[in-house]
Every structure is written in C-alpha cells, then in structure tokens.
Amino acid sequence: MQFEELSRLLEEIDKLSGRTDIISLLSSLFLKLGKEEVGPASYLLLGKVAPDFEHGELGLGEKLILRAISRASGATYELTRQRYSTLGDLGLVAAELATRGTTISLLEYTREGRGEHGKDARSGLTVIEIYHALKKIAATSGEGSQETKLSMLTELLSNSSPLARKYIARIVSGDIRLGLAELTVLASLSKAFAPDDKEAVERAFNITCDIGLVASTLANQSAQGVRRIKVQPGRPLKPMLAERSSSIDEILRRMGGRAAFEYKYDGERVQIHKSREGTKIFSRRTEDITGHFPDVVKAANTKLSAQEFIVEGEVVAIDQESGRMLPFQELMHRRRKHGVEEAMSRYPTRVELFDLLFVDGRDFTKEPYPKRRNRLVQLLSPSEDMAAAEQIVTDDHDRAEAFFESALEDGCEGVMAKTLSNKVGYEAGSRGWAWIKYKRDYKSSLADTIDLVIVGGFHGRGKRAGKIGGYLLAAPNGQGRYETACKVATGFSDEALVEMEDKLRSYVTPSRHPSVDSRLEADVWYRPAIVMEILGAELTISPVHTAALDEIRKGSGLAVRFPRYTGRLRTDKSPDEATSTQELLEMYRSQLKKL
Ligand code: AMP
C-alpha cells in the first residue's frame, strides 16, 4: 500500500470520535494492507517502529521536526515555528507548508534531485518504505546523529505529498496516538483477523508487549498462530496489577477468608529475565533498564539457580550504614546513563522478589500464586542484595493487621494481599482483585494516593508570580483521552516548582492537547506525559471537571478535593497507567458506602 493511501484512511479515522467507529475503520484498514504490512503499520499507528523494550519509540524532538518541515518545504524556520504556535499540531504545519507558497523549493527539489529512491516528490513511498526509513532514523545514534536524523527526515518529507507529510510528522512526534491507544489498535486487529478470539489476542499482547509481532502473526496465521505465541525470557510481560482496599476484613472476604500478605516495598518494580542471550531488566513500563542496575543483574545471575527464568520484584534503596530501606526517591539517583558505577556504590539496592513467571522452558503464568512463590523460594539463595518478599499466610484479621504494622515500621508503604485460589494465575496486564494493596494514610481520608497526569499549568500569584504556581491534572479514561480531575497548588516547595517547570518545558504545546478533555482554560498546556502523585481529602462531584463525566450526575465529573502533591513524580508510570477515571469512580462509590 502506498503511504498516501494509508494517510487518507487515517484522515477518515481522525474525523471519528467514537471508539467503536474507530475500531471498525481501523480493522477494515488492516484488511486492506498486504500481510507483510500489518505489523509495520501497527507500530506506525502507535508512533513506533519496534516494541518499547527494543527502544522502538521514535520520539524525535519538536525542534528537529520543525527544522525538517522547514527544510522540506522551503519555508523559513521562523514561519514554521509561528505556524506551529497557531495550529498546535506538527502534522498540520507540515501539510500546510507543503501546499502553500513553497512551490519554489519543491520545484527545485524535483528538478534537481529526486531523492535517494529516485522518485518524483509526488509519487510517494509505500508503507514499508516509510517504515524502514523511520527505523533507520530511530537506529541512528551517537555523535552527529541529530544532524543525520534531520537530513533523513527532511528527505522523507520531501518525497511525500502534503497529506503524507501530515502523518509522517505526527508519527515521528508521537502524536499519531490521538485517540489511538494501544488497546484500540489491538481491538481493531482482533476484529479484522480473529473476531471470536479476542481473549487469545489480548493474552498474546500481554505476554509479549509487542504489537507488531501480534499483528503480523494474526495477519499470517490468524488466531491459531496467536495461540502459539509463548512467554519467552527476553521479552517482557505486562505487569499484573492490584486493586486497592482500606480494610483487612474486606480483603479477607474477597479472598475467600484466607490470603497471603506480603510487604509492599516502596521502590521500583522490575522484571528480571535471564535467557541464553544474557540477563535483562525491564521496568514496569516494559522498558529495558538493564543499564541502570548492573548490581541487580549480578545478583540475579548468582543467587537464582536456573539457566533461564523470569522473576519479578521490587528494587529498594538501602542505607549503607544501617541496611534499612530508604524511601523511593533515593532510588531515582540510579536512573541515569552515566556514572552508574559511582551511583551503585553510593546508593546500594536490594531486590525483594515477589513472583516467578518462567523457569527453564516452563511457563508458570497459568500456575496459582502459591506454586509460583514456592518455586521462587526453591531457586533462590537469599542474601543481602536479593531476597524473597516478607510474607505470611493467614485467615486472621489481627495477625494481618500486626503484619501490616511491622511492614510500616520496616519502611514499607503497606501490604499486598494475594489470592491463594488455584484458579487464578499471573494475570499479565490486568488489574483485578487477585492482588489487593492495603496502605493507610493517616493524613487523609482517601485511603490511597492517586496518580494523575499533568495536562496544564497556571501562573502563580504573589510570591509565585512569574512562575507556574499550580497544575491541572487529569485521569486517563482507558480510551486514549485524559479527563481533568483537579487543580493542585499545594505541597510544592519553591525549588520543586522551579524543577517541575523545567521538567515540563519540553512537553509544552501551543494549545490544549487534542487528547485532553477540559472545561478549564489553563495558562500553559502540556502534552500528557508526566504522572504526579497526590493525596486528597475526598472525591466530590464537580461541574468544572470532566473525569467520569455524566457517570454519577449528568453534566458533572468527579474531582479530588484539597489535592496535595506528595513530592513524588511517578516516572515508573506512563500517562495511560495513571489512576483511571474508572478507578476514580470506584473510589467515589466506596467512599459513599463508608458514610
Ligand atoms: P501501586 O504502584 O501503588 O499501584 O502499587 C503496586 C506496586 O507495588 C507494584 O507495581 C509493585 O511495584 C509494588 N510492590 C511492592 N511490593 C510488592 C509485592 N510484595 N507484590 C507486588 N507488588 C509489590
């Protein structure tokens, strides 16, 4: 398929807003593609060229894209920037500048050189050609790579029609995702190739985190092929997630009267994979973070006696003198590319393992939790730097409460309860009642902190004049949109405000990001990217906010009352993993029950 045709279909999809309509059109798009194009197109639709764990995200800087658009169209950089401030979408800028007033350069371009592929600027490239060109751009690194990426992107744009430029610019900026969440693409693939096997498709994705692999398997081998996709060390699984509760009694009730309780460590979740190719560490967002933790790699290689495995645990920072656990923030010193060795000796860690998913050719994800834990304990020679999470199994309320108290004393956030049911395995990628987190926050009547996405900023007044003094926060609705839930302006030190503003600078957009639903006008808008942890007094119904709009009361959404920044950014969560509008609804309902 010509990329031009794909762009025309994307243009159609762009006009739709309902998820069902989008899925229908996308699935017919997949059926029109050649079999070998389905995988590459699936990556492109998500603004990638490979799965995240292979560093497949393009995410080119805004400035570089603007420069490429300017060069390809012959418009000055100033004009390109100006149009961007007005239009707020790099795709629109690329398309507009390609059509107006820039004929001279285009003419010159077509007359003088016809690009690497010897094609006329108007004839365009195929989907596969675009995919390979973008892959090449993504793979370019090291000294001088910015300049190389710039000329490659310029060439690509120059070889494309205005419409194709629009979608190339959106893909490379990551903005193709407007309304196109991973799950929407997955649902469309199911509809196209395996309408009766939606669950098998979802599982294949949850155990591989590779949309391109699932897509091309579906296109070539339909549902049968997808069922043959296996858990494989070296390829991360989506993490299993927990519901929350503020009562041990409720937890025991939900778990059939008896449960395992584990310390809930305050660190960073890691999935450790050992295969013939070596040992790798993946973050909760399934990114490869092996480089941050050479000490964890070493511990895994020496303390776990198997040739191949996948285990999961929490890395915690440890105080060098006392050996006690330190808060999560200390671990952030380890998130760096350079000086890892030095950071390793200054900020030692320990891994508390809490799950096992695969050992020596055997997939454990369908096994019940007690079996997985037993196998984990068998494999492990516990030491200072690697241990199995503290655990008790009980049906007794008081024992569980006492265990929770000792977890807090030992520097944990609370406890995680886990079901003993032999019907439940490791549910990759899903949040359910098989795991329940129990944290108590004495400062707040909301039982837990909430993680929301920063989508806007407000100018400060008085002492904070000239700075951003507060932020507009939103919750993901599970369908690629962000719905606002509060404005937060407390809990920030002056330094924290300055740091935050710096951090957010590269996410500023000239107007409200198209994926954000807001009734408030912010002074500055941000692309949803950074997740902030807050505490609130309670959830209320609000006509001003759009979170879970109309769900409780027509015309109103839900809002967090008296929100307060806890000082912690959840860099381990992507924006669509923040507390969802669905979770807010559940929290609101359980709050009502307690009254
Ligand atoms: P939250 O991030 O607040 O939704 O809490 C869930 C997180 O707690 C998991 O993703 C893990 O990173 C972390 N965690 C700490 N200890 C455990 C444990 N024993 N079992 C499972 N998750 C744990």
Question: 340-364 pLDDT, tens per residue?
Answer: 788 787 888 999 999 999 999 999 9
What's the CA gap between 194 and 218, in Å, rounded? Answer: 7
Q: Is 269 in the pocket of ligand 1 (CB under 6 A)?
A: yes
pLDDT of 180: 61
Say yes or no: CB of residue 242 within 6 Å of ligand 1. Answer: yes
From the CA of 215, how far away is ligand 1's center (Å)?
30
pTM of the full structure: 0.79
106 pLDDT more than 90:
no
Q: Whose CA is nearest to atom 10 of ligand 1?
A: 269
Minimum-distance ligand 1 atom for the alpha carbon of 263: 19
Instruction: State the average pLDDT over residues 389-409.
Output: 92
Q: Which two tokens stand for residue 258?
A: 């008896």
> How many CB atoms sit inside 10 A of residue 505's CB?
10
pLDDT at residue 114 above 50?
Answer: no
User: Percent of the chain, pLDDT > 70?
Assistant: 93
> In the structure, what pLDDT confidence band is assigned to residue 109 with cuts at 50, 70 and 90?
very low
* Beta carbon of 578 within 6 Å of any ligand 1 atom: no
Sketch out the chain's domains with CATH numbers: 47-173 (1.10.3260.10), 241-438 (3.30.470.30), 450-593 (2.40.50.140)
Q: Rounded to a whole number, what is the distance in angstroms from the first to the last CA of the chain? A: 59
Residue 264 annotated among the catalytic residues of the structure: yes
- C-beta atoms surrounding 425 within 10 Å: 19
13 vs 206: CA distance, rounded Å: 26
A 10 A CB-CB count for 567 gives 13
107 pLDDT band, cuts 50/70/90, is very low
Q: Would you say residue 177 has pLDDT above 70?
A: no
269 strand-pairing partners: 314
Among positive and negative, which fits the CA dihedral 329, 330, 334, 336?
Answer: positive
Q: What is the mean pLDDT of the chain?
A: 89
Close Cβ partners of 175 (under 8 Å, ≥ 6 residues apart): 47, 89, 90, 91, 527
Pairing between strand 431-439 and 241-244? Answer: parallel
Ligand 1 pocket check for 311: Cβ under 6 Å: no
> 477-524 pLDDT, tens per residue?
988 899 999 999 888 988 889 999 999 998 999 899 989 999 999 999
Pairing of strands 362-363, 349-359: antiparallel
Would you put residue 449 in left (φ > 0), alpha (ψ -120 to 50) or beta?
beta
Hey, which of 271, 435, 437 would you mutate to test ligand 1's pocket, going by the most ligand atoms within 8 Å of its Cβ?
437
User: Residue 123: is its pLDDT beyond 80?
Assistant: no
Question: Do 279 and 272 contact (CB within 8 A), yes or no?
Answer: yes
Q: In this predicted model, what pLDDT tens digit does every residue of 578-589 receive, in sequence order? A: 999 999 998 888
Q: Which one from 48, 166, 264, 487 is the annotated catalytic residue?
A: 264
68 phi, psi to nearest 5 deg: -65, -40
pLDDT in tens, 413-448: 899 999 999 999 999 999 999 999 998 653 345 657
Q: How confident is the model at residue 100 (pLDDT cuts 50, 70, 90)?
A: low
Residue 243: helix, strand or coil by DSSP? strand
Please tell me the distance between residue 394's alpha carbon and the centre of ligand 1 in angstroms.
Answer: 20
